[in-house]
Amino acid sequence: MSAVAGKRIVLGVSGGIAAYKAVEVCRRLMDGGAHVLPVLTRGATRFVGRATFDALASEPVRMSLFDEDDPIPHTTLGQTADCVVVAPATARVIGAYAAGISSDLLTATLLATRAPVVICPAMHTEMWEHPAVAANVATLIQRGVHVVGPEAGLLAGGDEGLGRLSSPGDIVAALGRILAQAANPPSETPDMVGLSVVITAGGTREPMDPIRYIGNRSSGKQGHAFADEAASRGAEVTIVTTVGRSGPPGATVVRVDTAAEMAAATTAAAADADMVIMAAAVADFRPVDPVGVKLKKRDGVPDVELEPTPDILAALGASKPEGQILVGFAAETCDVAANATAKLSGKGADYIVANDVTAENAGFAGDTNEVVVLASDGRMLPIGLRSKRDVARAVLDLVLADRKRRDGRQDPSSGGQEHSRYVSNTVSQEIQ
């Protein structure tokens, strides 16, 4: 059953060009069985019609604080909601919410609820990076508000940068996780509190000229899924990434482009880390002498000499501090187990997470993955097709269970209870 099924969700839509995506958010929530109550600002109706939400949602659109059918609509909405989500959340709405200003029905509802609140920012890069907006978002995070996005991509007016509304699928998935957590709050301290985790994500770009580069098709989704999962479990997260996605609340985000930049940033961050997860797809080769001007087709095929890029995983494995856990990745197209085994033995890693990127619904760009985890003690454990967040969760479950056994924090008489739980819940069988 969907995590949003049966939940009363107030869908706030504010006045940004991304308001059209809220229609898809509404539809997905309805398909998941949620009871959707749309609240639109007047600005939102400049971009989307209220009749659309009237037709799609569970109840008609509400816009006014002075609704004749309900003398206190903001209180009714706030008190009866299981969750309030604002998609898109403009700089104005974020600022008003942070300052406690109830200038319309949406901001009044935000102030009148004790239910989980999720804001999905969308605005131009300059606005998103403005100190005032950053301070308002930080204030809301400190108060327990959940923030989804924004992402990098095309913006209004043909611009490109960080500030694009997260995809409707990502927003609804985040709502499901938040509602599930609210329904089943952890009974004990999250299992990664006090751990420092460094994660790499995305594919590096090695320039040939100011326009062209050698790279790969990595979207960074798996690496960012690890960052989100580790942060939700209490870890102190640093993510070194080539993509424009924001990190989880409280994470340190280091943006890089090339393998050399990723090597420098990761090496520095990993020095004191408890765990390093190398989920990035680092280019194996780079042009020796990239040119400073665009290469022209009329000049013929360029003679590009290549050289190896830094082997970040091997360098980390060679200098790994005692007790640090190092997880590498292997994106393969054939002989997955054999190639990953060779990588595990040659890089000094504790685990290699390997996958066949040619398999259907697995690999680059998609939202799902299917992997095999190879451990340095010889175990090979498959994790079947599931969301990339669930893959991250399963890998961390395994690593943490092994860490507890290694550190003697598990009763030997339990016969490996933690690991057995992982195998029974996550893995169909061990590969012999």
Q: What length does the chain have?
A: 432
Q: Which amino acid is at 390?
A: D
H-helix segments, 160-258: 168-183, 221-232
Contacts of 355 (CB under 8 A, 6+ apart): 330, 331, 332, 336, 362, 363, 369, 370, 371, 372
**CB atoms closer than 10 angstroms to residue 215:** 17
Catalytic: which of 184, 216, 339, 425? Answer: 216
Q: What are phi and psi of 90, to 5 degrees?
A: -80, 170
Burial code of 369-403, b = ≥16 C-beta within 10 A, e = fewer?
Answer: bbbbbbbeeeebbbbeebebbbbbbbbbbbbbbbb
Among the listed residues 160, 162, 266, the one whose alpha carbon sits nearest the alpha carbon of residue 204: 266
Question: CA torsion angle for 294, 300, 301, 302 (degrees, to 10)?
Answer: -50
Residue 425 bears catalytic tag: no
Alpha helices (H) along 287-432: 312-318, 336-347, 388-406, 417-426
d(C-alpha 185, C-alpha 191), whole Å? 14
Structure tokens, 155: 């913006």
- What whole-number distance in Å separates Cα of residue 153 and Cα of residue 112? 34
Catalytic residues: 216
